[in-house]
Chain A
Amino acid sequence: DGGITQSPKYLFRKEGQNVTLSCEQNLNHDAMYWYRQDPGQGLRLIYYSQIVNDFQKGDIAEGYSVSREKKESFPLTVTSAQKNPTAFYLCASNPGRGGGADQPQHFGDGTRLSIL
């Protein structure tokens, strides 16, 4: 079955350490997204990419970085500059511009990041 795979499910970070969250999709989608979820705040967009080798900052990009070297992969790095990284991180995809704006996003099962 097609879908989005996020790994690991749980991740722990020490102070001053960068960590990378993996997101892989086999849906052949052009657009991919990273969201941060905190209790009571809904989903906040970190970065999104509408095509390979291109990505844009979302609403809370500071302290995060991404790459989009392959269509199926959109890893997120949480850098040491992110002072409050403890959260639930969700990756999503959708067909993108060619697929129509009525297409919903497909979500992975998330990665929970905690500070040690």
Chain B
Amino acid sequence: AQSVTQPDIHITVSEGASLELRCNYSYGATPYLFWYVQSPGQGLQLLLKYFSGDTLVQGIKGFEAEFKRSQSSFNLRKPSVHWSDAAEYFCAVNPEGAGTYKYIFGTGTRLKVLA
């Protein structure tokens, strides 16, 4: 079955430090990949998406993600974290080849930023 794994439940970084959030997926073909951010008590906001082409994609708020087919990974990065980046981050997959539009979400990584 298709699945998405975010191995880190919590990550703490200092403001100004770099950030990498990990995401691995299990799917035979290349799925459509997304990263979302969620502030407490709010819905999810799309940061970026990948479906083909350049494996390094740029998103909003200075985030980027790199798709690595050989590792089945789609890690999210930011060179310098701001205190406002503290939130929960979700990786998601749309395995379109399954013939449905059932997105699959990881369990999320909660980011804490130290001043």
Contact = CB atoms under 8 A, between A and B. Distances in A.
Contact of B34 (A45, A104, A108): A104
Q: How large is the interface on B (under 10, 10 to 19, 20 to 34, 35 or more residues)?
A: 20 to 34
B90 A109 contact: no
A107 B46 CA distance: 9
A43 B105 contact: yes
Contacts of B36: 104, 107
B46 A101 contact: no
Interface string A33-56: 101000011110100101000001
Nearest to A4: B43
Contacts of A35: 105
Interface in A64-110: 88, 90, 92, 94, 96-97, 101-102, 104-110
Interface string B79-94: 0000000000010101
Interface residues of A, number: 30
B41 A97 contact: no
A31 interface: yes
Given A42-B107, A43-B90, A109-B42, A48 B101 contact: yes
Contact of A108 (B41, B43, B101): B43
Contacts of B9: 40
A35 B44 CA distance: 11
Contacts of B94: 101-102
Given A42-B105, A45-B102, A48-B102, A104 B43 contact: no
Contact of B90 (A6, A33, A42, A58): A42
Interface of A: 4, 6, 31, 33, 35, 40-43, 45, 48, 50, 56, 58, 88, 90, 92, 94, 96-97, 101-102, 104-110, 112
10 contacts: A40-B9, A40-B108, A48-B101, A48-B102, A50-B101, A56-B100, A101-B32, A105-B92, A110-B42, A110-B43
